[in-house]
Chain A
């Protein structure tokens, strides 16, 4: 058992409850404080995104302004997906009562449907964060990202497939909820089932492809190839950036992964601790935080997925303090360091177990308090 395991096993139920209460208090305070400031913030970002989009698409149609146009559309797509789409679809702005910023209505400028995203991301990933076999984000069915995932020969391709995932990220995410591996490799899904599930995905994908690669190029007349290439570059930029941000949030080597057994009778305090141990922040400039949709505060985001992301920076010191008080790690580092560590994990796990240079302790049975078995533990403290 690792040091952290030992430490967590020494926690009593009361300690976990206290941690839960401390995090709940932060949440309650911010929720009660939400108002015009947050509304103005998200509206300003939306306005900028729309300006970058219109400006970018226009500038791309003429050779001299093409580079500026590509940069502008890339920014637009990144803002749309990260700070706006991801956060709005989490329900962070549902309290405003504005249908255009409501998680039920919002759709984003990417191939993935809002419905599928909310199922795999908001529900599966955020509820079962870093639980091997339950959180599909661990490898997307494509990669081996956890020591506890049994090695298969296909994982020798871990590195090139990760690169491919970065390049075609929006389309991989679009089909993530289809769980393609169940059809292709494990043969637990029929062709018919897959075809049925693919219908809404294709409906959205088709419209996105038509917009970027047919309508706007045609609109540019003789400069059609320019616009085609520009849109492709903007999509590629967004794909690589979004994928890197997401990988940095959960896959640096220090981040913990968990065994399914942790879900049993997990209390709210234990849930918080799992979110904390299963996420990592990265540091950077204000622009870096904005461009990552504040997922640079992945820890705060996982503790409070429904708090507007623009608040994460101000609550981060309090989260750190709670970690310090309880002797819990708070994973954070520069972007490049987290990325390097992530790629190291990917490379390491491409090898069969017997060749692994260093084996990370298997997914934990912790966090679990020793004396919890006979206690009442609801997921929600009623």
Chain B
């Protein structure tokens, strides 16, 4: 459709059309919905109020992973290598969201690259692996995270990753290659086996891309051992003088943290946990803590409804009927499980909107109030 072509894309005509559609007059004429709610009927990626993209390629690098390229709309404002972005797709009518780190260089134009390990219980990653198609819509949230290279590039960099934790450090590596980085980089990647390695071919290829770049792949089910102090000292004898970036599961983060603390160089260590940090929740009504993130408060979970507990913590969240009817109290639960007191149903552990007047926390729960 000509109209759709006029408002999507990024040429001068498109920019003008977009400016016209987002003008004050258009907002007045389309009040209260706003021009985006009309434009999206023609092209859902042409909206100005959300960063959305379409899937441009899907690959299956290993059996347990999937790689999607997403072409974002013009609202995408770039990222810094190592940061993550909220990635959401609609599956059976519901928007499912998770955080992923783009793996491409921060200097690359065009599609964003997301490589994700497929969680057998994860609705989103399984959907992407099995059912997503090129052209499907992806809603991208804000870019965030402090896990990134300092603006003034350090002289030595050690990048350590395990499994799908490779993506943010891969982005750092590619960024440094694009910058023709003159320093030394040691890239240590742990995975089960060669056939399970993400980016194996590229890592091999890039070996000679920079004079100071050395690759170390450790296959833990093919004789390689997990991270330990001796191994690091052997692979990177001068790691004390480098800035080290680590992304992987909790065990790797803990092992590196312990070592760097012992060595008194903890300020040279930068870490990122991959996957959603889900607090360990028992099925108990009580126990654990409730984190009211926006108000920066916490309270011990006493098993009462989240609304009651918020009030006991001195907060005054918006509410009405106290029986699940009016939705005045609905807010975002960012982590943890809750039980719906009307149905007894237990929620998922991920981010979702809940009505706090009829929800009791099971263990630790974080709320955006």
A residues within 8 Å of B by Cβ?
24, 27-28, 31, 34-40, 46-47, 50-51, 54, 90-91, 94-100, 102-104, 107-109, 118-119, 122-123, 126-127, 204, 207-208, 210-211, 215-216, 219, 268, 271, 305-306, 379-382
Contact = CB atoms under 8 A, between A and B. Distances in A.
Given A100-B37, A208-B31, A271-B323, A123 B94 contact: no
Contact of A215 (B25, B326, B342, B345): B25
Contact of A381 (B50, B95, B342, B345): B342
A122 to B, nearest CB: 4
Contact of B320 (A104, A123, A379): A123
B92 A103 contact: no
Interface in B205-259: none
5 contacts: A47-B41, A97-B353, A122-B325, A211-B28, A306-B325
Contacts of A37: 93
Interface in B135-160: none
Given A37-B93, A381-B342, A97 B352 contact: yes
A58 to B, nearest CB: 12
Contacts of B325: 122-123, 126-127, 305-306
Contacts, number: 121
B94 A95 contact: yes
Contact of A122 (B50, B92, B95, B326): B326
B72 interface: no
B167 to A, nearest CB: 24
A35 B358 contact: no
A97 B95 contact: yes
B353 to A, nearest CB: 5
Contacts of B88: 97
A34 B93 contact: yes
B300 interface: no
B93 A51 contact: no
Given A50-B41, A109-B33, A211-B31, A122 B327 contact: yes
Given A36-B92, A118-B328, A380 B32 contact: no
B71 interface: no
Contacts of A208: 31-32
A94 B332 CA distance: 11
Given A207-B28, A207-B32, A379 B322 contact: yes
A109 B32 contact: yes
Contacts of B201: none
A90 B325 CA distance: 8
B308 to A, nearest CB: 11
Contacts of A95: 93-94, 353
B324 interface: yes
B28 A126 contact: no
A215 B327 CA distance: 35
B38 A54 contact: yes
B92 A94 contact: no
Interface in B299-348: 320-328, 330, 341-343, 345
A306 B95 CA distance: 18
Contacts of A98: 90, 95
Given A39-B93, A50-B38, A51-B41, 5 more contacts: A95-B93, A97-B94, A108-B32, A118-B326, A126-B325
B91 to A, nearest CB: 9
A216 B352 CA distance: 40
A346 to B, nearest CB: 28
Nearest to A210: B28
| Residue of A38, A91, A109 with highest tally of chain B CB at under 10 A | A91
Contacts of B1: none
Given A96-B94, A380-B342, A127 B327 contact: no
Given A35-B94, A119-B320, A211-B31, A94 B330 contact: yes
Nearest to A92: B327
A110 to B, nearest CB: 9
A344 B325 CA distance: 31
B328 A123 contact: yes
Given A95-B94, A215-B25, A306 B327 contact: yes
Contacts of A40: 93
Contacts of A215: 25, 28-29
B97 interface: yes
Nearest to B352: A97
Given A94-B330, A94-B353, A104-B330, A380 B341 contact: yes
B327 A96 contact: no
B344 to A, nearest CB: 9
Contacts of B320: 118-119, 122-123, 127
| Residue of A97, A123, A381 with highest tally of chain B CB at under 10 A | A97
Nearest to B32: A107
A112 to B, nearest CB: 11
Contacts of B31: 207-208, 211
